[in-house]
Structures are given as C-alpha cells and as structure tokens.
Structure 1
Amino acid sequence: MTASSIAEKEGLSPDLLASIDMGSNSFHMVVARLVHGEIRTVEKMGEKVQLGDGLDEHNNLTEEAQQRGLDCLRRFAQRLQGTPPEGVQIVGTNALRVARNAQEFIDKAEDVLGYPVEVIAGREEARLIYLGVSHTLSDDEGRRLVIDIGGGSTEFIIGERFEPQELNSMHMGCVSFRNLYFPDGKITRKLMDRAVLHAEQELQSIWRRYRKVGWQSAVGSSGSIKAISNILASLKLTDGTITRAAMDELRIRLVDMGNVEKLSELGVREDRQSIFPAGFAILYAAFRALDIQEMAFADGALREGLLYDIVGRIQHEDVRERTIAALQERYHVDQAHGAAVEQTALAAWEQTANQWGLFTPADEDLLRWACRLHEIGLTISHSQYHKHGAYLLHYSDLPGFTQQFQRDLATLVRGHRRKFSPSVFEGTDPEEKARLRYLCVLLRLAVVIQHSRNLEPAPEFILKAEENKLTITFPEGWLDERPLTLADLKNEQDYLARQDFTLDINAE
C-alpha cells in the first residue's frame, strides 16, 4: 500500500501538509493544505538557528548549537500536531551532512517533533529547490538557471519547466564563508577579493558545462539573494532585479562601509548582517563565472519543494519510482525477474508485517525497490554482485531518496544472498537493525523461491512469524516437484541459523 492508499483506507486527511527544512543557517517550516490539487499555504515560520556555526574543530555539533535547533523545533512541533505522517517531510542539509554526531541531534529532533527526520544529499537538495522555485514561477518555455545560497552549501540548477537537467551542490555557503573571510565583521577589499576568488575556484568544475547548456532566465532563491534584491531596490540601483552593473556598484559600497554593523543603513536585518558579505561574495562570483547579466528573485525554495514532492507521492507521481526505473534501464536489470521476486516478497510481507512491525509505507517501499534492484551489481561482475549492487546504491545520486533510505536500500541488496553476517548491518542505526533484518529475511526468501527464474507465480505459501523464527508452509507436492528449490531453502536455513534465526520448512 502507498501512503495515499493508507490515508484513504484509514480515513486520514492527506490534504494537510507540512515541511521543515533544517538548514545550516535557518530552520524553516511551511504548513499548507492541498485544495483541488493546489497547495495553499496556511502558515510559514522561520528562525535563524545557524546550526552550521555550531560545528567544532572535529565537525561535531556543539551542545549549544543542538539546543538552539531543538528550541526552534519545539516551537514548530506544536503547529505540526495532527498532520498525517504521510503529509510531512522533515530534512536536514549541509550541516547535518558533515556533522559527525548528526545522528545524535536527529534522534533528539525526532523525539521533539514526533516525526522522522532525514538528511538529504546535495544533489537531492538541488532537485527539491528547483521543484519549489519552478512551482512559484510562470510556466514559461525555455531553460532557467536557479541559484540558492544556503548556510553551508550553494545549489546550481538548470532546468526547463518542472524538470531539472543539471544539478550541482557546491560546498560553500554564507555561514562557512563568513567564518573564513568575515569572522570579525570587517569588510575590506582584500577579504572580499579572497572570498570571491574562493567561490570562483569552486565553480571551476561546472562553469564550462553550464555555459554550454545555457539558459534563458536566471532566478535566485534563499534569504541571501532576497536581501541583495531588497537592498538594490532600496538604493534605487534597480527595481529589485539583480544585474551585473548593480552588483559591481554594491560591491564598492560594501567595501567602503568597512563593517557589517553599518549594513543596517542599507536596511539589512540585524540577524543577517554578519553573513551578508559572504552571501554577496558567492553570488558575485557566480555572476562572473557563469556570465550572468540579470537575475530575478523567487520565493520558492527547499521547503516548498518538499511540499510538492509530497503531493507527487500522494498523486502517484513519485519521483522515486522514476529513479528506480532509470536504474533498472541503466544497469540492464532483468525487470521480469525482479517483478517476480517483488510479487513473492510482498506476499510474504503481507503475512508478517503486523507480527514484525513492518506495516509502514516506507517498509513496503523499501522491500519493493530492493526486489527490483537486487541484481543491479551484475552489471559489474557476477562474483560478489550483491556487494557491487550495495556500493552502487549507497554512493549513486538517487533523485527523491534521502541518504538514510539509500543506505537502507543498499543494506537489503548487500544482504539478499550468501552469508547473513553482522557485517551486512554495519553502520546501521541500532534501532533500525531489527527492522532491516526482518526485511532482509523476506527478500532472501523471495529470491530463493524465484531462483529458477521461470517467472511462475509464487505458490500460496503460509507464513508464521515469531521474534527470531519464520515458519513457511508450502502447498502439498510443491516442494516434491522442485528439489533444487528445497535444496536452496535448506541452504538458507543454515545461513540464517548462523545469526540465531530459525527458518522452518513444512509442506501441507
């Protein structure tokens, strides 16, 4: 069952949606309703948390930074109450990507919010930003360049209408650049030149390709670009449009001011003053490296992209399904066999979900997609192909997937055959290990039953699930006609027994 079918079945209201973007600089929340297929914002909240500023020399989030984040989330949590789980997405970005103790903070955040928190990769962040921006703009033809400057990373996307074509997340942001070049608030020509040069160096890896692809319009999102747009308008340099000439003039004025405290004279809010020169330097470098002449500002951002991503899943337009299909095509996966394994595994899941606590839509999705991709590693080599497949899934950019979901998917593929050892679950959250172990057992069982690859429907087996035991009963005579399958099942008994898991095989 999908999230939407569960909502329909249980009478939940999938029209109430909420997203939280835990950025390196600010945390944002949007609550909205889905009315006749359109998102209507009910409430927006945002706070400067500067989580990325709380990374110590070992890349651990300090207690103070974690507390700032948790205090903000407590205020958000009250507004989330009553929102169906399938209507909520909460994600962390660059600060939580690099923090060594990110899981510690995530566990605390989940306790506060009562909903799961996921960390997304840079390219996935870029995809969602483009989704949010493109839905707030007119549906014009032609490619557009979208730039979003965050606290720890900056995303560059080229796309057309609602489809991104180029996605990149660069490891530079207004908080990290502030700490490097403007830590004491001074703005000098030398410091500005160094910051701009650093950003241009980061852009060396993409500027040629981006210029070659080209675009008809450029759009900026995020607080830094909004602040620049507002200042240009207040100085009457432009009407709010960001132009190359206006950026040159603003650069001169910033250096002349000499200190971030004087930015109040330009109307910059106090909580943004310290990071404004850093955000300006990154955007100025982008204008130069990508030869941008003019840029508009759009209100849409990551948080809006998350809402539209939820709507896509509810309306059966899940980008993750497209990602899985693309992987099957790219790596020449036997899709018919994958479908047979999936059908068998889901028949097993339906009989064991309640006993093993695997009844969420995420459990079903994880099992389904692992079935479809369990042989992806064959494109590299038959030997140890389960390990090759796990590597591909762990380290590939998979649109629509969070980092944790990718790791879980890789874990199931890694553990679908051969030794069922503890190494399969290394690095897994202890609280998730039992869940993944059960899903892995169901996948292994389905692979064994479909080992003959004759694409016949799975037999009407009966499963009885206990804590560390699974009893499977086959129709009378079915195993007698398939001695190789019986031998495979007995081998599977041995593999599972080494991990204190019992598989009993019966025939009616």
Structure 2
Amino acid sequence: MNDKLENKGPLVAAIDLGTNTCRLLIAQKTEATLVPVEIFTRIVRLGDELVTYKRISNVARGRAVDALSECAKRLEKYSVSALRCVATAACRDALNRDAFVQEIREKTGLPLEVISTQEEARLAMMSCADQLTQCTRYALIFDIGGGSTELAWVELIPGSVPQVIDSVSIPFGVVTVAEAIRGEPDEHEFQAKVRRAMAKETKAFADRCHVHPHLRKQAIQMIGTSGTLTTLAAIYKNLDHYDRAQVHGMVLNQKELQSLIYKVSRMTLHERLLHPCIGPQRADLIMGGVVIFQGIYDIFGINEVKVVDRGLREGIIFDLFLKTQGGVAA
C-alpha cells in the first residue's frame, strides 16, 4: 500500500449491492475528515426479473458476480481495517436469495450480508447525519432505491448522533416500478396509481410516528439521499454533466421541485436518453423515482428538501469509523 496512505490513518471499505447498482467505497480517516481512496460503481440491474418471477435472474447473477469480483480485486490493493458488504431489497425479496448469497461468497470471497429494512434506514441516516442541523428537533430522511424506498423519522439530539425513532421500507423502487410499468397499457395512469399507493403508505407511517403536529408547524427537516433527487438537482443547475460537488447539499424549494417534475415528465424517452444528467442509465428509471417522491411529498409537503449525494456505502463507512475510532467528522 502507498506509504502516504499508511501515514494518514486506517482504511475502511463498504460495498452496497443494490437492486440497480453495485457500489464500492474505500475511505481513510484523517484528523478532520474522510478521504475517498477508491470508488467503483457498476450497474447490475439485480432486480430485472424480481417483479415478474420473484427471483434474481441468472443473467443478473452473472452481472453481480462480475461487479463484486472487480470490487474484491480492488480491495486486494489495500490493507483495510474493516469491511462491510451489504445487499438490500432485491436480495431480501428474492426466493433464491440464499443460493445467490452463497454463490457470491464462493466466487468472490466477499462476506455478503442481506440487511434488514431497519438497518438500511439507519445506514441511510448515518450517510447524511452531518447534513442535519439543530434548527428543528425532527427530520425525515428518504432514500428512493432500486427495489424499495426507505423512510426514517429521526430525532436530533444535541451533542450526539441523530437517532432513528422509526422507519419503514415501502416496496416501490425505481427498478421495480420501471419493470412493472412495461406491462401496463396506460403508463400515466399506472404512475398515478403508484403515486397514490406511495402516499397511502407514507401517510400510515406519518400517523404512526405522530408527525402531523410538527408538520403543521413546518418544524421538520427533509433530506433526500436518492439518485432521483440528485438527478433533479443537476437538471435544475443546468449542468452539462453530472457534478457531485455542485449537487451535494443543495436545497430545492417547492416551486423549484414542481417545475423540475413538470419538465422531466414532459420529456420523451429519447430526450431523457440524450440529457447529460439523465442518460441511458436513468432514462427508463427517472419517472418511477419522480412519482415515488411525489407520493412522499403529497403527505409531508415540507417547503424545502435538502439533496444529499450519499448512500448506504457512505453510511457504512461513517458507521464503521464511529464504532472503531470513536466518531468521525464527515
């Protein structure tokens, strides 16, 4: 390993095998911050047959093995003090989950762990904990994934890590919605149906958490960690290519969000394919994410949403350092 890296502090690594994407992050802790050392992302579309057959297809399994083998190869270049490799909704829901996890372990040597919905929500919160302020007592964090959407109701406690009071995993994700819509005769009606169903699930969660008194006071922070929100933010900035530095931490208000959603919904598939901030990887997924977000927003309606370009892998990294080093600044 590079001597400069050895002198700066320990390395930890995280792998997030999601319904759509496989992500690796190796990071190092310095006195002030975390420094990414190795980043790898590959589309695997693990959930391409999940809606229809409730299984991870053989083709998707092959894509996942290839991506995770590349992750394992990259990990060999470093001496990491801790590694966590997690899988989420696609693996939780697949009938052939156990066989798939065993295949991954045998072919890549990686200790793949299928995490619960509660743990997924907690890690999503960890990924953006530093973006929460003490201006309110509570926050809502949502992560629109490939196979599900996680909502976390979070209490902000001065001087300590924010605490997840309650969370829910709703079985709508950008990949599963995109797969389901292909068999529907009326795309717009199906999208409206998803939006209503998402709103219903969100309202039930809000009722359970007694959110409404805080909503009436607009005394809640709203954080979105999903690719849907980062894509909308990049479109708002009119970027000629996606730039995390210009998107991460942005705040979009209600009027801006409504304008962005209208703009994206008016695009044809061809226009989405050619758009520099959507492109081939998200062209068929973005509208599913938009209607899921609309369902959430129909219930919470908070004026501002902060966009955070982080996900489970960052949450794992922060969590590992917190547990092994006694905390870390993000």
**CA apart distance, 1:102:** 1.1
Unaligned segments of structure 2, at least 5 residues: 1-7, 240-246
Distance 1:139 1:42 in 2: 28
Alignment correspondent of 2:269: 260
State how far apart, in whole Å, the 2-side matches of 1:294 and 1:37 are.
Answer: 29
Residues 286-435 of structure 1: matches in 2 within 5 Å? 286-315=296-325
Q: Distance in 2 between matches of 1:199 and 1:56?
A: 17
1:350 maps to which residue? none
Amino acid at match of 1:226: T
**Aligned-partner residue type, residue 171 of structure 1:** P
What is the aligned length? 299
Are 2:41 and 1:40 aligned?
Answer: no
Match of 2:111 among 113, 116, 124: 116
Letter in structure 2 aligned against 1:167 = S
Q: Match for 1:230: what amino acid?
A: A
Alignment map for 1:62-461 (pairs within 5 Å) = 62-81=57-76, 87-135=82-130, 137=131, 140-142=134-136, 143-159=138-154, 160=156, 162-181=162-181, 183=182, 189-208=188-207, 209-214=210-215, 215-234=219-238, 241-257=251-267, 259-264=268-273, 266-267=275-276, 268-315=278-325
Distance change in 2, residues 1:25/1:212 (3 Å): farther
| Cα displacement (A) at 1:61 | 1.2
1:211 partner letter: H
CA RMSD of aligned residues (A): 2.7
Q: Deviations over 1:182-233 (max 9, x none)?
A: x289995434322211221222311333334554321111212111111223
Does the 8 A contact of 2:18 with 2:88 survive in 1? yes
Which amino acid is the alignment partner of residue 262 of structure 1? E
SS at match of 2:305: strand
Q: Which residue of 2 aligns with 1:378?
A: none
Distance 1:138 1:292, change over 3 A: closer
2:111 is paired with a residue whose SS is: coil
Name whichever structure is richer in strand by fraction.
2
Give the SS at the match of 1:51: coil
For 1:46 and 1:282, the matched residues in 2 are separated by 24
**Deviation of residue 280 (structure 1)?**
0.5
Could you tell me which amino acid in structure 2 is paired with residue 205 of structure 1?
A
| 1:399-451 deviations in Å (ceiling 9; x for gaps) | xxxxxxxxxxxxxxxxxxxxxxxxxxxxxxxxxxxxxxxxxxxxxxxxxxxxx
CA contact (8 A) 1:14 1:84 kept: no
Superposed CA deviations along residues 266-313 of structure 1, whole A, max 9, x for unmatched, are 431211110000000011111111122221111232111111221233
What residue number does 1:429 align with?
none
Identity of aligned residues (%): 23
Counterpart residue identity of residue 244, structure 1: Q
Query: Could you say which structure has the larger radius of gyration?
Result: 1
Q: 1 CA distance for matches of 2:47 and 2:271?
A: 25
Q: Which runs of 5+ in 1 are unaligned?
A: 1-12, 318-508
Higher-helix-fraction structure: 1
Query: What is the rounded CA distance, in whole Å, between the counterparts of 1:56 and 1:219 in structure 2?
Result: 28
**CA 1:169–1:185 in 2, change beyond 3 Å: closer, same or farther?**
same
Q: Structure with the greater relative contact order (CA < 8 A, sep ≥ 6): 1 or 2? A: 2
Inter-partner Cα distance in structure 1 for 2:111 and 2:288: 32
